[in-house]
Amino acid sequence: MPIRYLLILGAFLISMLMWIDRACISAAEGDIARDLDLSPTQMGWVMGAFALGYALFQVPGGKLADRFGPRIVMTGVCIAWSVFTGLTGVVRQVGWLVGIRFLFGMGEAGGYPTTSRAIYSWLPIGERGITNALIFSGGRLGAAIAMPGVVWLIAVTGGWQQAFYLLGGIGLAVAILWYLLFRNMPEYHFAVSAAEAHYIKQHRAADAELSIEDDQTGVATLNQILSAPTMWMLMVQYVAHNFTFFFVASWFFKYMKTTFELTAEQTGWYAMMPLLCGVLGNWLAGVMVDTLYRRGYWNLSRRLPAMIGFVLAAVGMALCINMNTPLAAVIAMCVAIFGSDMVLSPSWTTCLDVGGRNAGTVSGAMNMVGNIGAFCTAISFPMLKEAAGSHEPFFYLAAGLNIVAVFLWFAIRPDLPLVDCAPQGAAE
């Protein structure tokens, strides 16, 4: 088996753990709010603090990966988020909890940009779509496991604090394994054969042969990256994605439990269904991206899955407004998250296309602004309910953002690099 497939497996498992640690606070929300006497608005700030820390440190995380390489940076990322996962179980005041979750978000921020930098050096261009899909589906699977799994873990370990301690310890072990087994370039890996290294070099981006330690040819400043219209369109469309998806990772559990008067165990199983549909959406989009690319449709291979995904996300969020049973609500959310997760592979693959050696920074910039949408979801869902007396404004807003994102993809050009704006290959 090619060693690069083991890289994909490792990134898949890290993505899964990232989302287990991220989503576990949603499943534990009832226990935490009861023990610390927190209101829904205060819990909104706790969840939003993660999203804010996560957003603000995306670009620094990507810059570090571009400069020092995925091996050392991912090791540091795993250590940081795992430490703050464990510390979440220590705090007893809302101010400290908000601060710890902000630092936890900072710790996780470099995860996906660093993964993008690893993919850029290790994977042929024609394998980027399905690779991104598999990695992000690991995150969705992790979040799905977290919903019923954390409820079970709390019962087994004796409390939500112990569950956070255990998850933090697992993350520290993963950090050690990544450092021991990964190398920044396939040419330097002890287990990669000469034949596989040659194949990768023949089919990856040309400037990927410039290692982390080489000259700065093709390295752009942050100002150059942010001055490109494509960069801004990628960031704005990712706001729409995150505004939709983060609802499932933050408030959907409580929404289902309180709206339909379910037990925690029942809610956990319902809440995992949309996330499993997200896994399927990831896989479908990944296959579409690579299949269309291999047939010569570079731009279409990125645009079509993303546009279909945003349409489905808009439809699903709009349908949520009139759902009167838990099954109907879950089906509507499944449609929304299936579509929303179809956006991931084309979005992150486009960052690799247009970013070049700046793949970590470009991915980080998109994820930074995109996660402002996650922050807005965390705080706006309870606030809009309090102000309007209904959840309808939130779902209308989410549907509208997804429609805007559809039109942005008409203008995004994956075949034009951000630095010199010279075409990299054939477009459709």
**CATH classification of the domain holding 103:** 1.20.1250.20
Q: Nearest-CA neighbor of 280 among 395, 164, 144, 174?
A: 144
CA separation for the pair 222, 345 (Å, rounded): 23
Half-sphere exposure of 33 (CA within 13 A, CB side): 17
Q: What is the pLDDT of residue 389?
A: 82
Record the tokens describing residue 275, joined without a space: 């996330």
CA separation for the pair 405, 293 (Å, rounded): 22
- Is 240 a member of any domain? yes
- Is 175 a member of any domain? yes
Q: CB under 8 Å to 159, separation ≥6 — which residues? A: 31
Q: How far is CA 142 from CA 117, 137, 379, in A?
A: 22, 8, 23
Q: What is the pLDDT of residue 363?
A: 87
Q: What is the pLDDT of residue 231?
A: 94
- Is 231 a member of any domain? yes
Q: What is the pLDDT of residue 215?
A: 52
Q: Nearest-CA neighbor of 102 among 55, 43, 143?
A: 55
**Residue tagged 């269904």 (tokens):** 273
Q: Residue 41 is part of which domain span?
A: 3-206+220-408
- Is 428 a member of any domain? no
Q: Nearest-CA neighbor of 330 among 256, 393, 390, 391?
A: 256
- Is 236 a member of any domain? yes
- Is 427 a member of any domain? no
Residues of the chain scoring pLDDT < 70: 207-218, 419-428
- AA letter at 81: W
- Is 366 a member of any domain? yes
The structural domain count of the chain equals 1
- Is 317 a member of any domain? yes
